[in-house]
Chain A
Amino acid sequence: MSSDQPFITDDSAVVTETRDARMGEGRGDRFNSRLREAFGSSPFILTKFDKFLNWARGSSMFMLQFGIACCSIEMMHTYAVKHDLDRFGSGVPRASPRQADVMIVPGTIVSKFAPRMKRVYDQMPEPKFVVGMGSCTISGGPFQEGYNVIKGAEEVIPVDIHVPGCPPRPEALVYGVAKLQERIANGEASPVTVKPYELEQFSDLEQDELVEHLTDQIDEDDLVMRYNFADSP
Chain B
Amino acid sequence: MSLQNPDGDLDPADEASVVAQRDPDELAELLGDAVIGREEHLNAPGFVIRPDAVQDVLSTLKEAAGYDHLSVVTAQEYENRYESIYHLKKFADPTQEVSVVVPADKEDPVSQSAEPVFRTADWHEREAYDLVGIEYDDHPDLRRILLPETWQGHPMSMDYDKDQPQVVSLREHANPLQADHREDESDTMFINIGPHHPATHGVLHLKTTLDGEQVADVESDIGYLHRSEEQMAQSGTYRHQIMPYPDRWDYISAGLLNEWAYARAAEDLADIDVPEYAQVIRTMGAELCRIAAHMLAVATFALDINGDFTATFMYAINDREQAQSILEDLTGQRMMFNYFRLGGVVWDLPEPREEFFEKTRAFLDQLPGSVEEYHDLLTANEILQMRTIDTGILPPEVAKDYGATGPVVRGSGVDYDLRRDDPYGYYDELDWDVITEDGCDNYSRLLVRLQEVEESAKIIEQCIDLLEDWPEEDRTIQSNVPRTLKPEDDTEIYRAVEGAKGELGVYIRADGTDKPARFKIRSPCFSNLQTLPEMANGEYVPDMVAALGSLDIVLGEVDR
Contacts and interface: CB of A to CB of B under 8 A. Distances in A.
Interface stretch (A45-53, A176-184, A206-214): A206-214
Contacts of B483: none
B33 interface: no
Contacts of B334: 74, 169
Contacts of A74: 334-335
A202 to B, nearest CB: 9
A146 B248 CA distance: 14
Give the size range of B's interface with the partner: 35 or more
Contact of A73 (B163, B166, B229, B253): B253
B5 interface: no
Nearest to A77: B317
Contacts of B162: 147, 229
A55 interface: no
18 contacts: A65-B198, A69-B251, A80-B317, A81-B314, A81-B317, A81-B321, A82-B321, A95-B197, A107-B225, A110-B227, A112-B147, A113-B195, A116-B170, A116-B224, A146-B232, A147-B231, A148-B147, A210-B152
Interface of B: 147-148, 150-152, 155, 160, 162-171, 173-175, 195-198, 201-203, 223-229, 231-232, 235, 244-245, 248, 251-253, 296, 313-314, 317-318, 320-321, 334-336, 555-556
Interface of A: 65-70, 72-74, 76-77, 80-82, 95, 97, 107-108, 110-117, 119-120, 142-143, 145-149, 166-167, 169, 205, 208, 210-211, 214, 217-219, 221-230
A-B complex: 7 closest residue pairs judged by Cβ atoms: A146-B228, A70-B251, A230-B163, A115-B170, A80-B317, A113-B224, A223-B170
A108 B228 CA distance: 11
Contacts of A65: 198
Given A73-B252, A142-B232, 9 more contacts: A73-B296, A115-B170, A143-B232, A147-B155, A149-B227, A210-B165, A217-B150, A222-B170, A224-B167
B168 A145 contact: no
A44 to B, nearest CB: 40
B202 A224 contact: no
Contact of B248 (A77, A120, A142, A221): A142
A211 B164 CA distance: 12
B116 to A, nearest CB: 29
B167 A69 contact: no
B227 A227 contact: no
A211 B167 contact: yes
Contacts of B167: 205, 210-211, 214, 224-227
Contact of B195 (A76, A116, A205, A219): A116
Contacts of A72: 202
Given A65-B198, A119-B170, A113 B160 contact: no
B164 A229 contact: yes
A145 B231 contact: yes
Contacts of B251: 69-70, 73
Contacts of A115: 168-170
Contact of A110 (B173, B197, B224): B224
